[in-house]
Structure 1
Amino acid sequence: MPTIFLTGFPGFLGSALVERLLDRSPQEVSITCLIQPRWRGLAEQKAYGLERQKASRLGRIHLVEGDITRPGLGLGEAYAQLQYDTQEVYHLAAVYDLSVKREFAFRVNVEGSRNVLDFAEGCNALARFQYVSTCYISGRYEGLFTESDLEKGQIFNNFYEETKYFAEVEVQRRMKAGLPVSIYRPGIVVGDSKTGQTQKYDGPYAILRFLMNQLSVAVMPVIGDTSRYTVNIVPQDFVIEAIAHLSAQNTSLNKVYQLANPNPPSVAELIDLFAGATKRWVLPVSLPKVIAKSALEYVPYAQDLTGITTDAVEYFTHPTTYSCENTL
């Protein structure tokens, strides 16, 4: 039975993408999701809910237990048959934690991607390898980072960025060697633009929680000129609809798409949005970056009380902007 192979289910983006793929694919095409055994219960629950929304989806989500960090994806004897059946690969699985240790991030994001690429290269009927990267492979590159940019001598804020960069370097190397590829680089993904639904309350949500835990007048530490730096947040539904649409186009073959906001809000504008959403009058208090990060790191319970990590601070003084001509 022909199938689409997907990693990253039952994650935030993976679950939403499976729904779109089911509805756009012929009924004889299944979606095979590689899952870790510890996520079996949640994956079954998500798959059950998706399949029962429409009769045309029934019986089309197949869950197979494995691990992208293991040779052969941990699939054993099922590996060869799955390669034979696979027409398309969507690789979303990754470690997204900004504070992740390098060894673990490298094993999942780099070695894991190599293993999925190896799987894809053995699929004789493969039409496309669809890879979800991130805009932040740019690291702290100063200036405009385009969809054709990759190796720019950039330095990285954390091991998440670094290992996603190395993973995309490998994906682009295979693309140049002949593998049919499309690459998608989202900005900072937040909840659905219509419902607000999200699976994780990290990143910008930490600022919202911090403000909501204060009285009607809230203090907000800021760093530097808040009108100078931007925060490139994009809603989940935009990212999913963009991937679902672009991945179906012949013209998207061997292209990179930055799924970014072409006019992102400045830090100052974002604080104003948060103030309105939380109904707080926000008083910005300027701090040097070194003091802000030191306070979060060394003052007892500072990160627990604020919900803001030292890693997140860098994204409010981010020197990079992103073009998205291919996407638009």
Structure 2
Amino acid sequence: MTDSDPRVLLTGFPGFLGSALLGRLLARGDEPVACLVQPQYRPLAERRAAELIEAVDGIDASSEPIRLYEGDITEPELGLDTGAFDALESVRECYHLAAVYDLGIQQDLAEAVNVRGTEHVLDAAETLDVDRFQYVSTCYVSGRYDGVFTEAHLEEGQSFNNHYEETKYRAEVLVQERMAEGLPATVYRPSIVVGDSETGETGKYDGPYYLLRLLAAQPAACSVGLSLPASSRTELNVVPRDFVVNAIAHLSAHDDAVGEVYQLCDPTPLTVPPFVDALADAMDHRVVSPLVPKSIARRVLAGIESMGLPAEPATIDYFDHPTSYACPNTRRALAGTELECPPFGSYVERLVEFALEHPEIGDEAMV
């Protein structure tokens, strides 16, 4: 292996998290990085790669610090031809972020990307005999676990809100099985990822953004939200993108993270009513959220969606989600650093400002 051969393989570029994490990897000198990119996203990947290279001091663009490989994780050997796969034999570390992040995703697509795709990436990592496998899961592998879910939990007999949660759970089970067999892996479980805490920037308006945009579409003097009977004791655990990628960049650089699971969540999240209040205050809206049965709330959101307004009926399941998340392993690992999840109230205004200034961004998943 020479210095010009790729040392890192990244899936999930040019996605929202993958793009930010790639910038951190370049900044710490991990180039060249091989990025697996679906052909339809090649133009976007080229633009983002150029922007990242320009933004990092000391990077020589002529050395091709970012190498784009057209492929597909839903296919064996990542959809690469033999020559392209062989070109990755120098890779020593793999970051697997590619997944379908969509609450309303159909089962067959979620299965193909999140489960079989992860299995194919694991197979590729073992064929390449990597020294480290970094896997981005989600706190919501918990499904509707009733209680406090920590890094020590996974297979708890839980039910799931949707195919996204269930397939991400099954994917992490695959990763942990390989870990038990000796794969030097680390698992990161973000909770609900929102925009950057400093700039508000995001790449997709999903999750809490449906609520934000629904309120923004109504009069400031009186906007109507929704609340379920259990909402007052239901936590909405959100984390900003910069905390997630900074934590992954930090933890992935430490050998003692091998074999560990880290939940990247807010240790003191808001419950639904104060979360809605924080959004309303940042928007200078007066919001009324009547209590309604869940079945009616779901029909209301479906009706709003059919009118072309921002809504996703699947989000209502998170207004009575029975799970709380704790991150003792993460807090121990980050103790003594400056890395900690900021409280939602400290950056909500920036999220709102960005969303209002960028109405052109949609809610489409990158698949």
Tell me the TM-score range normalised by the shorter chain. over 0.9
| Structure 1 equivalent of residue 323 of structure 2 | 320
Residue 260 of structure 2 corresponds to residue 255 of structure 1: yes
Once the 2 structures are TM-superposed, how far is the Cα of residue 80 of structure 1 from its aligned partner?
4.4
State the shift of 1:213 in Å.
1.3
Matches within 5 A, 1:119-158: 119-124=124-129, 126-158=130-162
Q: Which of 159, 162, 185 is residue 163 of structure 2 equivalent to? A: 159
Q: Is the 1:22–1:57 contact (alpha carbons within 8 Å) kept by the matching residues of 2?
A: no
Deviations along 1:24-55, whole A, 9 cap, x unmatched? 125xx410000000000000000011112233
- Taking the TM superposition and a 5 Å limit, the aligned residue runs for 1:201-280 are 201-215=205-219, 216-280=221-285
Q: Does the 8 A contact of 1:91 with 1:132 survive in 2? A: yes
Q: Which protein has the bigger strand share?
A: 1
Give the TM-score normalised by structure 2.
Answer: 0.85
Residue in structure 1 matched with residue 111 of structure 2 by the alignment: 106
Identical columns (%): 50
Distance 1:162 1:203, change over 3 A: same
Q: 1:308 Cα shift?
A: 1.9
Separation in structure 1 between the aligned mates of residue 241 and residue 311 of structure 2, nearest angstrom: 21
- The Cα of 1:173 is off from its aligned counterpart by 0.3
Deviation, 1:112, is 0.5
How far apart are the structure 1 equivalents of 2:119 and 2:230?
Answer: 41
CA contact (8 A) 1:50 1:57 kept: no
Q: Partner residue of 2:90?
A: 85
Structure 2, unaligned runs of 5 or more = 332-367
Q: Is the 8 A contact 1:23 1:57 kept in 2?
A: no
Equivalent position to 2:191, from 171, 179, 187: 187
Deviations 1:288-320 (A, max 9, x none): 0011112333x3x54545422111100111100
Deviates more, 1:47-56 or 1:105-114: 47-56
Distance 2:308 2:237 in 1: 25
Q: 1:194 Cα deviation (Å)?
A: 0.8
SS of 1:89 mapped into structure 2: strand
Q: What residue is the counterpart of 1:170 in the other structure?
A: 174
Match in the other structure for 2:335: none
Q: Distance in 1 between matches of 2:44 and 2:247?
A: 26
CA distance in 2, matches of 1:55, 1:183: 31
CA distance in 2: counterparts of 1:136 and 1:323, whole angstroms: 12
Is 1:13–2:17 an aligned residue pair?
Answer: yes
Letter in 2 for 1:40: R
* Cα separation, 2, equivalents of 1:306 and 1:317: 23
2:69 maps to what in 1?
A: 64
1:83/1:119 contact within 8 Å kept: no
Residue matched to 1:309: 312
Counterpart for residue 121 of structure 2? 116
Partner amino acid for 1:231?
L
* Among candidates 3, 24, 32, match of residue 7 of structure 2: 3
Structure 1 stretches of 4+ with a deviation exceeding 3 A read 301-306
Residue of structure 1 in register with 2:80 after alignment: 75
Structure 1, residues 87-123: CA drift from partner, whole Å, max 9, x if none?
1000000011111111111011000000000000012
Residue 93 of structure 1 aligns to a residue whose secondary structure is coil
The count of corresponding residues between Structure 1 and Structure 2 is 323
C-alpha contact (below 8 Å) 2:69/2:84 kept by paired residues: no
State the AA in 2 paired with 1:99. G
RMSD, matched Cα: 1.3
From 84, 99, 113, give the equivalent of 1:94.
Answer: 99
Unaligned runs of 5+ in 1: none
**What's the offset of the Cα at 1:83?**
4.0
- Which amino acid is the alignment partner of residue 194 of structure 1? E
CA contact (8 A) 1:100 1:159 kept: yes
